[in-house]
Amino acid sequence: MINPFRSIVGVDVLANELLSRHTSFHIGGKTRYLVKVYSHRALKKVLDIIRKQRIRYYVIGSGTNVLVSDKGFPGVIIKLYGIFRTMKKRGDIFYCGSGLSIEHLLQKAKGLGYGGAEFLAGIPGTIGGAIKDNAGAFGKSMAEIVIGVTVITDRVIISRLSNREIRFGYRQTKIKDGVVILSAELKLTRRKHWDITTEIRNNLAYRKQRQPTGYSAGSYFKNIKPYVAGKLIEDCGLKGLSVGDAEISRKHGNFIINRGHAKASDVLELAKIIKKKVKNIKGIMLKEEVKLLN
Protein backbone atom coordinates (compact mmCIF):
# COMPACT_ATOMS: atom_id res chain seq x y z
CA MET A 1 0.00 0.00 0.00
CA ILE A 2 1.35 3.44 -0.97
CA ASN A 3 1.76 5.78 1.99
CA PRO A 4 -1.48 7.83 1.92
CA PHE A 5 0.02 10.58 4.08
CA ARG A 6 3.11 11.21 1.94
CA SER A 7 1.99 14.63 0.64
CA ILE A 8 0.99 16.14 4.00
CA VAL A 9 3.23 18.87 5.39
CA GLY A 10 3.75 18.64 9.14
CA VAL A 11 3.93 14.88 9.64
CA ASP A 12 6.56 12.18 9.89
CA VAL A 13 5.45 8.72 8.82
CA LEU A 14 7.00 5.44 9.95
CA ALA A 15 5.81 2.36 8.06
CA ASN A 16 5.66 -1.06 9.75
CA GLU A 17 6.85 0.45 13.02
CA LEU A 18 7.23 -1.79 16.08
CA LEU A 19 4.90 -0.49 18.76
CA SER A 20 7.03 -2.04 21.50
CA ARG A 21 9.23 1.02 20.94
CA HIS A 22 6.36 3.33 21.84
CA THR A 23 4.82 1.76 24.95
CA SER A 24 5.93 1.60 28.56
CA PHE A 25 5.28 -2.16 28.51
CA HIS A 26 7.87 -2.54 25.70
CA ILE A 27 5.50 -5.07 24.16
CA GLY A 28 3.70 -5.14 20.82
CA GLY A 29 3.92 -5.94 17.15
CA LYS A 30 3.97 -3.59 14.19
CA THR A 31 1.48 -0.97 13.05
CA ARG A 32 0.92 -0.29 9.36
CA TYR A 33 1.77 3.38 9.89
CA LEU A 34 2.84 5.42 12.86
CA VAL A 35 2.18 9.07 12.06
CA LYS A 36 3.84 11.84 14.07
CA VAL A 37 1.73 14.98 13.71
CA TYR A 38 3.04 18.49 14.44
CA SER A 39 0.16 20.87 13.61
CA HIS A 40 -3.62 21.15 13.73
CA ARG A 41 -3.79 21.52 9.97
CA ALA A 42 -1.76 18.35 9.44
CA LEU A 43 -3.93 16.42 11.90
CA LYS A 44 -7.09 17.46 10.06
CA LYS A 45 -5.63 16.15 6.80
CA VAL A 46 -4.52 12.89 8.40
CA LEU A 47 -7.96 12.29 9.91
CA ASP A 48 -9.66 13.19 6.66
CA ILE A 49 -7.66 10.56 4.79
CA ILE A 50 -8.31 8.01 7.51
CA ARG A 51 -12.05 8.74 7.34
CA LYS A 52 -12.22 8.53 3.54
CA GLN A 53 -10.22 5.31 3.38
CA ARG A 54 -11.94 3.84 6.44
CA ILE A 55 -8.67 3.00 8.19
CA ARG A 56 -8.62 2.05 11.85
CA TYR A 57 -6.65 4.45 14.02
CA TYR A 58 -5.66 5.07 17.59
CA VAL A 59 -3.94 7.97 19.34
CA ILE A 60 -1.25 7.25 21.91
CA GLY A 61 0.67 9.65 24.11
CA SER A 62 3.48 8.00 26.01
CA GLY A 63 1.90 4.58 25.61
CA THR A 64 1.67 4.11 29.36
CA ASN A 65 -1.77 2.56 29.72
CA VAL A 66 -1.92 0.23 26.75
CA LEU A 67 -1.01 -3.35 25.88
CA VAL A 68 -0.41 -3.91 22.17
CA SER A 69 -1.08 -7.33 20.65
CA ASP A 70 1.85 -9.43 19.49
CA LYS A 71 0.28 -9.24 16.03
CA GLY A 72 0.40 -5.47 16.20
CA PHE A 73 -2.24 -3.01 15.04
CA PRO A 74 -3.47 -3.17 11.42
CA GLY A 75 -4.09 0.54 11.07
CA VAL A 76 -2.65 3.95 11.91
CA ILE A 77 -1.18 5.02 15.22
CA ILE A 78 -1.10 8.80 15.75
CA LYS A 79 1.35 10.55 18.08
CA LEU A 80 1.13 14.28 18.72
CA TYR A 81 4.14 16.58 18.69
CA GLY A 82 4.87 20.24 17.92
CA ILE A 83 1.95 22.54 18.76
CA PHE A 84 0.38 19.74 20.79
CA ARG A 85 3.23 19.86 23.31
CA THR A 86 3.03 23.56 24.12
CA MET A 87 1.50 25.42 27.06
CA LYS A 88 0.25 28.97 27.69
CA LYS A 89 -0.97 30.62 30.85
CA ARG A 90 -3.67 33.27 31.20
CA GLY A 91 -4.43 34.20 34.78
CA ASP A 92 -4.98 30.98 36.70
CA ILE A 93 -5.81 28.99 33.55
CA PHE A 94 -3.18 26.82 31.87
CA TYR A 95 -3.85 26.04 28.19
CA CYS A 96 -2.05 22.79 27.48
CA GLY A 97 -1.61 20.82 24.28
CA SER A 98 -2.75 17.24 24.71
CA GLY A 99 0.72 15.91 23.92
CA LEU A 100 2.33 17.88 26.75
CA SER A 101 3.92 15.61 29.34
CA ILE A 102 2.58 15.62 32.89
CA GLU A 103 6.11 16.17 34.19
CA HIS A 104 6.55 19.28 32.03
CA LEU A 105 3.26 20.72 33.28
CA LEU A 106 4.22 20.19 36.90
CA GLN A 107 7.66 21.73 36.54
CA LYS A 108 6.44 24.70 34.50
CA ALA A 109 3.55 25.39 36.87
CA LYS A 110 5.83 25.13 39.90
CA GLY A 111 8.22 27.63 38.33
CA LEU A 112 5.33 30.07 37.94
CA GLY A 113 4.15 29.51 41.51
CA TYR A 114 1.08 27.42 40.68
CA GLY A 115 -0.01 24.14 42.17
CA GLY A 116 -3.05 21.92 42.31
CA ALA A 117 -1.76 19.12 40.08
CA GLU A 118 0.87 17.71 42.45
CA PHE A 119 -1.15 14.51 42.82
CA LEU A 120 -0.02 13.66 39.27
CA ALA A 121 3.67 13.55 40.25
CA GLY A 122 5.19 10.28 39.13
CA ILE A 123 2.39 9.40 36.73
CA PRO A 124 4.00 9.03 33.30
CA GLY A 125 2.14 10.13 30.22
CA THR A 126 0.59 13.14 28.57
CA ILE A 127 -2.20 15.57 29.42
CA GLY A 128 -4.51 14.12 26.77
CA GLY A 129 -4.14 10.58 28.05
CA ALA A 130 -4.48 11.70 31.66
CA ILE A 131 -7.76 13.44 30.87
CA LYS A 132 -9.21 10.63 28.78
CA ASP A 133 -8.55 8.10 31.56
CA ASN A 134 -9.23 10.58 34.38
CA ALA A 135 -5.83 9.83 35.89
CA GLY A 136 -5.48 10.41 39.57
CA ALA A 137 -3.87 9.52 42.88
CA PHE A 138 -4.02 10.40 46.57
CA GLY A 139 -7.79 10.89 46.40
CA LYS A 140 -7.67 13.41 43.56
CA SER A 141 -8.13 13.20 39.81
CA MET A 142 -8.02 15.22 36.57
CA ALA A 143 -11.75 15.88 36.92
CA GLU A 144 -10.95 18.41 39.66
CA ILE A 145 -8.64 20.63 37.60
CA VAL A 146 -10.01 20.36 34.05
CA ILE A 147 -12.27 23.20 32.92
CA GLY A 148 -12.74 21.89 29.40
CA VAL A 149 -11.10 20.38 26.34
CA THR A 150 -11.02 21.06 22.62
CA VAL A 151 -11.45 17.93 20.53
CA ILE A 152 -11.65 16.82 16.93
CA THR A 153 -13.94 13.94 15.94
CA ASP A 154 -13.47 11.18 13.41
CA ARG A 155 -15.59 13.32 11.09
CA VAL A 156 -12.95 16.05 11.40
CA ILE A 157 -15.24 18.38 13.37
CA ILE A 158 -13.68 20.53 16.09
CA SER A 159 -15.67 21.29 19.23
CA ARG A 160 -15.23 22.15 22.89
CA LEU A 161 -16.39 19.98 25.76
CA SER A 162 -16.91 21.42 29.23
CA ASN A 163 -15.95 19.53 32.36
CA ARG A 164 -19.54 18.37 32.71
CA GLU A 165 -19.76 17.21 29.08
CA ILE A 166 -16.59 15.14 29.47
CA ARG A 167 -18.48 13.12 32.09
CA PHE A 168 -15.59 12.03 34.23
CA GLY A 169 -15.83 8.68 35.98
CA TYR A 170 -13.42 6.43 37.82
CA ARG A 171 -10.42 6.10 35.47
CA GLN A 172 -12.62 6.87 32.50
CA THR A 173 -14.57 9.50 30.61
CA LYS A 174 -17.21 9.46 27.91
CA ILE A 175 -14.68 10.66 25.31
CA LYS A 176 -14.72 7.97 22.63
CA ASP A 177 -11.57 6.44 21.14
CA GLY A 178 -12.25 8.08 17.77
CA VAL A 179 -12.19 11.54 19.33
CA VAL A 180 -8.79 13.24 19.57
CA ILE A 181 -8.14 15.71 22.38
CA LEU A 182 -6.32 18.71 20.93
CA SER A 183 -5.86 20.83 24.05
CA ALA A 184 -7.12 21.33 27.58
CA GLU A 185 -7.83 24.17 29.97
CA LEU A 186 -6.62 23.46 33.50
CA LYS A 187 -7.44 25.55 36.56
CA LEU A 188 -4.47 25.70 38.94
CA THR A 189 -3.97 27.76 42.09
CA ARG A 190 -1.27 29.99 43.52
CA ARG A 191 0.95 28.18 46.03
CA LYS A 192 4.29 28.71 47.66
CA HIS A 193 7.17 27.20 45.69
CA TRP A 194 8.38 25.27 48.74
CA ASP A 195 4.95 23.77 49.43
CA ILE A 196 4.64 22.60 45.82
CA THR A 197 8.16 21.15 45.83
CA THR A 198 7.57 19.35 49.13
CA GLU A 199 4.31 17.76 48.00
CA ILE A 200 5.78 16.62 44.69
CA ARG A 201 8.82 15.18 46.48
CA ASN A 202 6.62 13.35 49.01
CA ASN A 203 4.38 11.91 46.29
CA LEU A 204 7.36 10.70 44.29
CA ALA A 205 8.91 9.13 47.39
CA TYR A 206 5.63 7.35 48.16
CA ARG A 207 5.47 5.93 44.65
CA LYS A 208 9.10 4.85 44.74
CA GLN A 209 8.53 3.04 48.03
CA ARG A 210 5.37 1.23 46.95
CA GLN A 211 5.61 0.77 43.20
CA PRO A 212 8.04 -1.43 41.26
CA THR A 213 10.47 -0.36 38.59
CA GLY A 214 10.69 -2.12 35.24
CA TYR A 215 8.56 -2.28 32.11
CA SER A 216 4.85 -2.10 32.93
CA ALA A 217 1.67 -0.22 32.13
CA GLY A 218 1.15 0.89 35.72
CA SER A 219 -1.87 -0.42 37.62
CA TYR A 220 -3.30 -3.23 35.51
CA PHE A 221 -6.74 -3.50 37.14
CA LYS A 222 -9.17 -0.88 38.41
CA ASN A 223 -9.93 -0.65 42.09
CA ILE A 224 -13.46 -1.71 42.92
CA LYS A 225 -14.61 0.30 45.93
CA PRO A 226 -14.19 -0.37 48.78
CA TYR A 227 -11.56 -2.88 47.66
CA VAL A 228 -8.05 -2.23 46.36
CA ALA A 229 -7.08 -4.42 43.42
CA GLY A 230 -3.46 -4.83 44.50
CA LYS A 231 -4.49 -5.97 48.00
CA LEU A 232 -6.99 -8.48 46.58
CA ILE A 233 -4.29 -9.96 44.34
CA GLU A 234 -1.79 -10.07 47.20
CA ASP A 235 -4.31 -11.74 49.54
CA CYS A 236 -4.79 -14.45 46.93
CA GLY A 237 -1.06 -15.24 47.11
CA LEU A 238 -0.38 -14.28 43.51
CA LYS A 239 2.58 -11.91 43.87
CA GLY A 240 5.58 -13.31 42.00
CA LEU A 241 3.49 -15.57 39.75
CA SER A 242 4.70 -15.50 36.15
CA VAL A 243 3.75 -16.61 32.67
CA GLY A 244 6.63 -16.52 30.24
CA ASP A 245 8.53 -13.32 30.97
CA ALA A 246 5.50 -11.54 32.44
CA GLU A 247 5.40 -11.47 36.23
CA ILE A 248 3.10 -10.14 38.93
CA SER A 249 5.31 -7.73 40.84
CA ARG A 250 6.57 -8.95 44.19
CA LYS A 251 6.37 -5.35 45.38
CA HIS A 252 2.84 -4.42 44.24
CA GLY A 253 0.19 -6.95 43.29
CA ASN A 254 -1.50 -4.72 40.71
CA PHE A 255 1.59 -4.37 38.52
CA ILE A 256 2.41 -6.87 35.80
CA ILE A 257 6.06 -6.54 34.86
CA ASN A 258 7.72 -7.34 31.55
CA ARG A 259 11.02 -8.83 32.70
CA GLY A 260 12.48 -8.16 29.27
CA HIS A 261 11.03 -10.54 26.71
CA ALA A 262 7.37 -10.87 27.65
CA LYS A 263 4.75 -11.18 24.95
CA ALA A 264 1.28 -9.69 25.03
CA SER A 265 -0.05 -13.25 25.16
CA ASP A 266 1.94 -13.83 28.38
CA VAL A 267 0.42 -10.73 29.99
CA LEU A 268 -3.10 -11.66 28.88
CA GLU A 269 -2.77 -15.20 30.22
CA LEU A 270 -1.44 -13.89 33.53
CA ALA A 271 -4.29 -11.37 33.76
CA LYS A 272 -6.76 -14.18 33.07
CA ILE A 273 -5.31 -16.23 35.93
CA ILE A 274 -5.51 -13.23 38.27
CA LYS A 275 -9.15 -12.55 37.45
CA LYS A 276 -10.14 -16.19 37.89
CA LYS A 277 -8.30 -16.58 41.19
CA VAL A 278 -9.65 -13.35 42.69
CA LYS A 279 -13.16 -14.26 41.56
CA ASN A 280 -12.96 -17.75 43.07
CA ILE A 281 -11.42 -16.66 46.39
CA LYS A 282 -12.85 -13.18 46.94
CA GLY A 283 -16.00 -13.31 44.82
CA ILE A 284 -14.96 -10.12 43.00
CA MET A 285 -14.46 -9.77 39.24
CA LEU A 286 -11.61 -7.41 38.46
CA LYS A 287 -11.77 -5.13 35.43
CA GLU A 288 -8.75 -4.08 33.40
CA GLU A 289 -7.54 -0.49 33.54
CA VAL A 290 -4.99 -1.16 30.78
CA LYS A 291 -6.40 -1.07 27.26
CA LEU A 292 -5.72 -3.86 24.77
CA LEU A 293 -4.85 -2.65 21.29
CA ASN A 294 -5.14 -5.28 18.57
Examine residue 226 and say whether the peptide bond preceding it is cis (omega within 30 degrees of 0): yes
Q: Are 279 and 53 in contact (CB under 8 A)?
A: no
C-beta pairs of 161-167 under 8 Å, 24+ apart in sequence: 166/131
Cβ(180)–Cβ(44) under 8 Å?
Answer: no
Q: List the one residue out of 64, 57, 63 whose CA is nearest residue 43.
A: 57
- Catalytic residue list: 171, 219, 289
Give the 3-state secondary structure of 206-266: HHHHHCCCCECCCECECCCCCCCHHHHHHHCCCCCCEECCEEECCCCCCEEEECCCCCHHH
